């Protein structure tokens, strides 16, 4: 393991912001820590960088305990949430800062800066002032600056946080491709699941300073570890139910469940795609309370006569009007027991 | 942190302790009864009474005259506003003796008013009060006007939309936001006038004497050091109390206010009333701030062919052992040394105070740093005189004594200027540099220094102007053969004769030009800065 956290704990004002976290990142791996704000993910990065001392536990890089090693000697890179470019320096001097601190001679430095700026898609921008850069350009410069001292581990704090949506979607693909090409080891944190799933080999979901789930994007998406993870990923249809055979008794009536579902009292997740709308006289009778346009589909919010509301995904042309009465049937393939 | 603490321990705490010991220890035993003895003497009680009431009157008069100006500068946009703002600030950095001589030239014997209408004010308290307004006008305009300009006018507009009349909206919205700043400014003015020395020394004559002047008189004329020490303690207590109240109002002022860019709140005056207000402020500035200085310059040119200036180069004038013009050179040397000391000590202290994890102890030091500013120069000078004249530290014969005292007075200015800028440097910028491989020392050099360089220059300029004009402490410890400019001016004024008077005016003019030049350079640096952060 390039990076291992061993029961890493940070207490601030009596509260454990990071609570006995164990985490490993292998070489060339891209790991994304996902969690709501206040879940301790930024503290995790700061602890690895050496900007935040641990209350107990250990941070190991290449198997060596980093206790007492100051930030500037750890050889890790950190890209800050709002970039933190040096305002009084131009783009080139920002990127060259790391190599300069490491005593790289000027000629080599300039060549390196040119190469990196080309790599991040800003060729020839070295003399520009950082104040004149757009948000996306700043992000690219910050990335080049973080890469310049060739850190063994690159950490990104909300790398695309403040950019607008379309730019974010484009950059996340570029980043993924760039890290694959360079073989960079990356530990990133974000609150945006789309970003995490697009970027990472492995996703780690955090809650209240603890790790709630860790796995490949597909694993986490298909089988959230618990109701918290499911809700954080945007799934609303989470209920308690009693599974008997291939059916479950829930507030929404009898639900079909896949073969091999564990029996007894369970928390079930019904993905919106598994909620099928049928004519009002069939299935569970519901009223449409809201419709949200999601681009490729419409999210329809349904209120059954009894029990919590439901969310369904349906094609644009099939979406019923608000106030309409519909029936609901469930698809066993889109229902999963979380515990 | 260690250096500033040591500096203050040796050059402030120790001299003060020496004063206490001198005043209250008789034959090795503590005599706290001395305090009561001294303050119940009728003439001392008279001094205390005069000190207090003239400070109150000066403060009231300053507020009365300067608050309209604060409004005008904050809310009106008119041609020449920037120049006028600089003009208003000039008196604040002028040495007290310059102000003293300027008012002497205006309202004194053979002064302008005397010649025109036979009016003399130099034997009345009015001369002192007007000179105090002259000095502290800028304090009110800057403190109150600075905040006023940043108050969002839309707050008042919101109150208007909710049905408040203009006056009502002002009273309910603007006034409460402004009140702490007004209180802070008033306390500052009270503090400065309570400890006034140079002005009263020159304009007060034998009739009027503040505590500060009395301390000086007891030390250098009556040679009653123990009475002087007791008076110093009384002053110390009063100043301490004022500073505590001041710190409290400042904390209240920093409470949540919606501030906007000062550049966006000013507009052209509208209607006859507003133009009249603007005109009134301009006339006040012209009469009160510009006229005295203009008269001073004119008086210095009274002798044909720059006679008074040429007389300055004569060493056989009899007043000094050296030619008065040598005082210019001495002053500049002292000021440079004092500035260097103040900047080093002040920036180290500011850097320690700016750390986010600064503990209570360090923040307490912040308040302590302000003490020399209020505790009055005479105390500092007197303390130096009695504390640093024997081993282990005997600096009586050393030229460094004067710059040290001046630096002590300059340090609070350096800290005040540097601290906000240092606090504004984003801590994560430092972290970014550290993660990129910069050691703590390099972080300071690469991140902090470029951002605070300008503030450092401004601070140095302030310290320079302050030490150049410093009078109260210097007059105690400057050696007779090496007077500084203000000391030379005061000494010339204390001698009879037109030549001495004229030379004093000429020296004051030189001093004024140097200080004003320093200030105008500072103003340039300041305005340049706004675009950068």
Q: With contacts defined as CB-CB under 8 Å, which chain A residues touch B432? A: 78, 80, 84, 86
| N- to C-terminal Cα separation, chain B | 27
How high is the mean pLDDT of chain B?
75
CA nearest neighbour of B261 among B153, B164, B339, B353: B153
Most trustworthy range by pLDDT among A326-330, B150-154, B332-336: A326-330
Q: At what angle do helices B225-253 and B42-75 cross, to 10 degrees?
A: 30
The most distant pair of C-alpha atoms in chain B lies apart, rounded to whole Å, by 75
Give the nearest chain A residue to B437 (CA atoms).
A72
Q: With contacts defined as CB-CB under 8 Å, which chain B residues touch A102? A: 437
CA nearest neighbour of A312 among A326, A324, A299: A299
**What is the rounded CA–CA span in Å between residue A206 and residue A186?**
17
Q: At what angle do helices B81-93 and B125-150 cross, to 10 degrees?
A: 130
Q: With contacts defined as CB-CB under 8 Å, which chain A residues touch B450? A: 88
What pLDDT is recorded for position B529?
38
pLDDT at B396 over 50: yes
At B249-262, the pLDDT tens digits run 666 655 555 566 66
Across the interface, whether the CB atoms of A84 and B438 are under 8 A apart is answered: no
| Rounded alpha-carbon distances, angstroms, from residue A61 to A4, A21, A120, A151 | 7, 15, 27, 12
**What is the rounded CA–CA span in Å between residue B505 and residue B106?**
12
| Chain A closest-CA separation from residue B121 CA (Å) | 55
| CB interface of B with A, residues 428-447, below 8 Å | 428-429, 431-440, 442, 446-447
What pLDDT is recorded for position B219?
74
Q: With contacts defined as CB-CB under 8 Å, which chain A residues touch B439? A: 70, 72
Q: Which of A51, A87, A97 sits opposite B436 (nearest CB)?
A: A97
What's the mean pLDDT in B41-69? 85
At A29-71, the pLDDT tens digits run 999 999 888 888 889 998 998 888 889 899 999 888 888 888 8
**What is the rounded CA–CA span in Å between residue B473 and residue A139?**
56
At A144-164, the pLDDT tens digits run 999 888 888 999 988 887 777
CA–CA–CA angle A153, A155, A156 (5° rounding): 155
pLDDT at B385 over 70: yes
What's the mean pLDDT in A233-241? 89
What pLDDT is recorded for position B448?
81
User: Who has greater pLDDT, B361 or B222?
Assistant: B222
Please, are residues B410 and B339 in contact by the beta-carbon 8 Å criterion? Answer: yes
H or E element: which one contains B498?
helix B498-530
At B473-508, the pLDDT tens digits run 777 777 767 777 777 777 777 777 777 777 777 778
H or E element: which one contains B35?
helix B33-39
pLDDT over 90 for what percent of chain B? 0
At residue A202, the 3 state secondary structure works out as strand
B425 contact A CB<8A: no
H or E element: which one contains B475?
helix B474-477
Across the interface, whether the CB atoms of B433 and A149 are under 8 A apart is answered: no
Long-range contacts of A9-15 (CB under 8 A, 24+ apart): A9/A54, A9/A55, A9/A56, A9/A57, A10/A40, A10/A43, A10/A47, A10/A52, A10/A53, A10/A54, A10/A55, A10/A209, A11/A55, A12/A43
CA within 13 Å, CB half, B89:
22
| Rounded alpha-carbon distances, angstroms, from residue A212 to A119, A172, A200, A215, B23 | 36, 24, 17, 11, 71
Quote the DSSP letter at residue A13: T
Nearest-Å Rg of the Cα atoms of chain A is 24
pLDDT at A249 over 60: yes
B452 contact A CB<8A: no
Place of tokens 């608050």: B67
Phi, psi of A266 (to 5 degrees): -135, 160
Residue A159 CB neighbours (<10 A): 27
What pLDDT is recorded for position A139?
87
Residue B372: pLDDT band with limits 50, 70, 90: low
pLDDT at B533 over 50: no
pLDDT over 70 for what percent of chain A? 100
| Chain A closest-CA separation from residue B217 CA (Å) | 54
Residue B381, token pair as written in the block: 């000078």
**What is the rounded CA–CA span in Å between residue B216 and residue B200?**
12
Residue A22: pLDDT band with limits 50, 70, 90: very high
| Chain B closest-CA separation from residue A144 CA (Å) | 12
**What is the rounded CA–CA span in Å between residue A114 and residue A126?**
7
Q: At what angle do helices B449-469 and B401-424 cross, to 10 degrees?
A: 150
At residue A219, the 3 state secondary structure works out as helix
Q: Which of B429, B435, B437 sits opposite A102 (nearest CB)?
A: B437
Q: What letters, b where the CB count within 10 A reaches 16 and e where it falls short, cover B215-231?
A: bbbbbeeeeebbbbbbb
pLDDT at B530 over 50: no
H or E element: which one contains B56?
helix B42-75
At B276-296, the pLDDT tens digits run 888 888 888 877 777 877 877
Q: Could you give the residue ranges of the DSSP H alpha helices within B76-204?
A: 81-93, 96-107, 112-117, 125-150, 153-161, 166-169, 175-194, 198-203
pLDDT at B82 over 60: yes
pLDDT at B456 over 70: yes
What's the mean pLDDT in A115-125? 87
| CB interface of B with A, residues 453-472, below 8 Å | none
Interface residues from chain A to B (CB-CB < 8 Å):
49-51, 70-73, 76-78, 80, 82, 84, 86-88, 97-98, 101-102, 145-146, 148-149
**What is the rounded CA–CA span in Å between residue A159 and residue A143?**
9
- Chains A and B form CB pairs within 8 A to the count of 60
pLDDT at A198 over 50: yes
B390 contact A CB<8A: no
| Chain B closest-CA separation from residue A41 CA (Å) | 16
The separation between CA B224 and the C-alpha centre of its own chain, rounded to angstroms, equals 28
Please, are residues A230 and A238 in contact by the beta-carbon 8 Å criterion? Answer: yes
**What is the rounded CA–CA span in Å between residue B511 and residue A239?**
84
Residue B306, token pair as written in the block: 């720059």
B450 contact A CB<8A: yes
Across the interface, whether the CB atoms of A97 and B431 are under 8 A apart is answered: no
The ipTM assigned to this model is: 0.79
| Chain B closest-CA separation from residue A84 CA (Å) | 6
Across the interface, whether the CB atoms of A72 and B451 are under 8 A apart is answered: no
Q: What strand order describes the sheet that includes A76-79?
A: A76-79, A153-157, A186-190, A30-34, A202-207, A210-215
Residue A204: pLDDT band with limits 50, 70, 90: very high
Long-range contacts of A164-173 (CB under 8 A, 24+ apart): A164/A135, A167/A135, A167/A136, A168/A192, A168/A195, A169/A194, A169/A198, A171/A136, A171/A139, A172/A198, A172/A199, A173/A198
- Cis omega (within 30 of 0) on the bond before A170? no
What pLDDT is recorded for position B112?
67
The separation between CA B281 and the C-alpha centre of its own chain, rounded to angstroms, equals 23
Q: With contacts defined as CB-CB under 8 Å, which chain B residues touch A82? A: 428
Residue B1: pLDDT band with limits 50, 70, 90: low
**What is the rounded CA–CA span in Å between residue A155 and residue A5?**
14
User: How would DSSP label each residue in B379-438?
Assistant: HHHHHHHHHSEETTEE-TT-TTHHHHHHHHHHHHHHHHHHHHHHHHS-HHHHHHHHHTT-
What pLDDT is recorded for position B528?
42
**What is the rounded CA–CA span in Å between residue B312 and residue B214?**
31
Residue A104, token pair as written in the block: 């790289």
Place of tokens 């350079």: B521
| Chain B closest-CA separation from residue A76 CA (Å) | 7
Give the residues across from A188 on adjacent strands.
A32, A156
Residue A252 CB neighbours (<10 A): 24
Q: With contacts defined as CB-CB under 8 Å, which chain A residues touch B440? A: 70, 72
Q: With contacts defined as CB-CB under 8 Å, which chain B residues touch A72? A: 434-440
What pLDDT is recorded for position B532?
27
B166: exposed, middle or buried (C-beta count within 10 Å: 0-12, 13-18, 19+)? Answer: exposed
At B460-474, the pLDDT tens digits run 877 887 788 777 777
**What is the rounded CA–CA span in Å between residue B218 and residue A160?**
72
Residue A240, token pair as written in the block: 């308690």
Q: Which of A106-120, A281-295, B243-257, B376-390 has the lowest mean pLDDT?
A: B243-257
What pLDDT is recorded for position B119?
66
Place of tokens 């980093």: A66
Place of tokens 């009292």: A265
In which region does residue B362 sit, left (phi positive, over 0), alpha (psi from -120 to 50) or beta (all else)? alpha
B175 contact A CB<8A: no
At B113-126, the pLDDT tens digits run 666 676 666 667 78
């Amino acid at each position: 393991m390039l990076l291992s956290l061993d029961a890493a704990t940070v207490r601030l004002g009596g509260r454990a912001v990071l609570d006995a976290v164990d985490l490993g990142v292998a070489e060339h791996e891209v790991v994304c820590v996902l969690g709501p704000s206040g879940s301790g993910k930024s503290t995790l990065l700061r602890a690895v960088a050496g900007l935040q001392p641990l209350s107990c536990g250990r941070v190991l890089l290449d198997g060596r305990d980093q206790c007492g090693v100051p930030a500037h000697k750890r050889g890790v890179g950190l890209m800050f949430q709002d970039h933190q470019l040096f305002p009084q320096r131009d783009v080139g001097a920002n990127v060259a800062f790391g190599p300069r601190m490491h005593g790289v001679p000027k000629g080599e430095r300039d060549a390196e800066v040119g190469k990196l700026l080309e790599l991040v898609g800003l060729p020839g921008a070295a003399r520009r002032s950082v104040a004149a850069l757009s948000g996306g350009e700043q992000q690219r410069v910050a990335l080049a600056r973080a890469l310049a001292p060739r850190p063994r581990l690159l950490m990104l704090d909300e790398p695309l946080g403040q950019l607008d949506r379309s730019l974010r979607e484009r950059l996340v693909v570029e980043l993924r491709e760039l890290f694959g090409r360079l073989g960079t080891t990356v530990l990133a944190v974000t609150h945006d699941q789309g970003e995490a799933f697009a970027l990472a080999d492995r996703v780690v979901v955090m809650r209240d300073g603890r790790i709630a789930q860790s796995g490949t994007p597909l694993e986490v998406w298909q089988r959230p570890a618990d109701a918290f993870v499911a809700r954080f990923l945007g799934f609303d249809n989470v209920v308690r139910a009693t599974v008997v055979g291939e059916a479950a008794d829930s507030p929404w009536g009898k639900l079909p469940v896949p073969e091999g579902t564990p029996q007894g009292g369970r928390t079930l997740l019904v993905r919106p795609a598994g909620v099928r709308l049928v004519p009002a006289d069939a299935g569970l009778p519901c009223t449409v309370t809201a419709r949200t346009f999601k681009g490729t589909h419409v999210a329809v919010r349904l209120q059954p006569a009894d029990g919590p509301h439901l969310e369904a995904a349906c094609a644009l042309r099939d979406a019923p009007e608000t106030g309409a009465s519909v029936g609901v049937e469930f698809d066993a393939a889109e229902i999963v027991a979380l515990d | 942190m260690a250096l500033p603490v040591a500096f203050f321990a040796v050059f402030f705490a120790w001299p003060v302790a020496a004063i206490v010991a001198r005043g209250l220890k008789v034959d090795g035993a503590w005599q706290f009864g001395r305090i009561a003895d001294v303050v119940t003497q009728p003439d001392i009680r008279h001094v205390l009474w005069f000190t207090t009431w003239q400070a109150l009157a000066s403060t009231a008069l300053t507020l009365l005259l300067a608050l309209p100006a604060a409004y005008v500068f904050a809310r009106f946009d008119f041609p020449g506003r920037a120049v006028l703002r600089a003009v208003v600030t000039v008196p604040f950095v002028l040495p007290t003796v310059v102000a003293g001589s300027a008012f002497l030239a205006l309202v004194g014997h053979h002064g302008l008013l005397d010649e025109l209408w036979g009016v003399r004010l130099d034997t009345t308290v009015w001369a002192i009060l007007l000179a105090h307004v002259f000095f502290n006008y800028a304090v009110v305009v800057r403190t109150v006007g600075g905040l006023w300009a940043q108050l969002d006018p839309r707050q008042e507009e919101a109150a208007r939309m909710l049905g408040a009349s203009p006056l009502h909206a002002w009273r309910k919205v603007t006034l409460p936001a402004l009140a702490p700043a007004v209180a802070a400014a008033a306390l500052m003015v009270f503090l400065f006038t309570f400890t006034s020395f140079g002005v009263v020394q020159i304009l007060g004559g034998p009739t009027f004497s503040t505590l500060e002047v009395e301390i000086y008189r007891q030390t250098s004329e009556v040679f009653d050091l123990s009475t002087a020490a007791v008076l110093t303690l009384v002053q110390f207590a009063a100043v301490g109390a004022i500073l505590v109240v001041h710190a409290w109002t400042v904390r209240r002022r920093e409470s949540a206010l919606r501030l906007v860019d000062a550049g966006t709140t000013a507009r052209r005056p509208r209607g006859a009333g507003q133009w009249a207000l603007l005109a009134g402020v301009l006339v006040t500035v012209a009469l009160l701030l510009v006229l005295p200085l203009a008269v001073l310059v004119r008086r210095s040119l009274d002798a044909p062919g720059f006679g008074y200036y040429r007389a300055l180069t004569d060493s056989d004038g009899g007043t000094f052992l050296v030619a008065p013009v040598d005082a210019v050179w001495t002053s500049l040397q002292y000021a440079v040394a004092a500035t260097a000391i103040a900047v080093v000590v002040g920036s180290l202290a500011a850097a320690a105070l700016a750390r986010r994890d600064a503990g209570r102890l360090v923040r307490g030091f912040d308040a302590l740093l302000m003490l020399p500013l209020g505790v009055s120069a005479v105390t500092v000078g007197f303390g130096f005189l009695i504390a640093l004249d024997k081993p282990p530290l005997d600096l009586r014969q050393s030229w460094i004594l004067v710059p040290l005292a001046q630096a002590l007075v300059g340090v609070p200015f350096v800290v005040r200027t540097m601290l906000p800028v240092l606090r504004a440097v984003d801590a994560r910028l430092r972290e970014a540099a550290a993660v990129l491989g910069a050691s703590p020392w390099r972080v300071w050099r690469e991140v902090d220094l470029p951002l605070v360089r300008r503030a450092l220059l401004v601070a140095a300029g302030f310290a320079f102007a302050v030490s150049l004009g410093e009078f109260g402490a210097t007059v105690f410890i400057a050696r007779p053969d090496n007077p500084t400019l203000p000391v030379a001016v005061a000494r010339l004024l204390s001698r009879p004769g037109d030549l001495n008077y004229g030379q004093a005016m000429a020296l004051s003019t030189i001093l004024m030009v140097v200080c004003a030049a320093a200030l105008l350079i500072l103003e340039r640096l300041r305005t340049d800065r706004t675009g950068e952060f």
